[in-house]
Amino acid sequence: MKKLLLIAFMMTAAVLVLAACGGNKSDNTNTGAGTGVEETGTAASAKVTIKAKRYEFDKPVYTIKKGESTEITLKSEDGVHGIEISDLNGLKIDSDKPTVVTINDPGEYEFHCDIMCGSGHSKMIAKLVVE
């Protein structure tokens, strides 16, 4: 019986942890217009690959052109990582799911890993520069 209680407790704790992460993410969904990003289907005229591993992206800065449809692919080289660009309506790019975007507003958009991947997770930050 004691064992059963312990398992129930651990499951509750896990659910709480997941709920906390989910809560963070929802802050950035549908934050309104004016950020100049559209997801534009599958046809892209440019491609960029971002590689992620614990606890860094392979480059500090990735540059794309404004107004050009660009396919962004995230490759996780260990574990599971994701990308969230808060300043682009919370745009998310999942591993191995190439995402085509057209960004019309030039600027520097910081992004971070949005999947809790370990102790250095919060250091996983890089920039998307649109010029």
Q: Is 74 in the site for Cu ion (CB under 5 A)?
A: no
Report strand pairing: 91-94 vs 82-85.
antiparallel
Q: Cβ of residue 94: shortest distance to Cu ion, in angstroms? A: 13
Residue 69: count of CB within 10 angstroms of its CB: 19
Three-state SS for 55?
coil
Q: Out of 44, 91, 101, 113, which residue is the one contacting Cu ion (CB under 5 A)?
A: 113
Of 48 and 116, which CB lies nearer to Cu ion in the complex structure? 116
Q: Closest Cα partner for 17 from 115, 123, 124? A: 115
For position 117 contacting Cu ion by CB under 5 A, the verdict is yes
- Count of chain residues binding Cu ion (CB under 5 A): 3
Q: Which residues bind Cu ion (CB under 5 A)?
A: 113, 117, 121
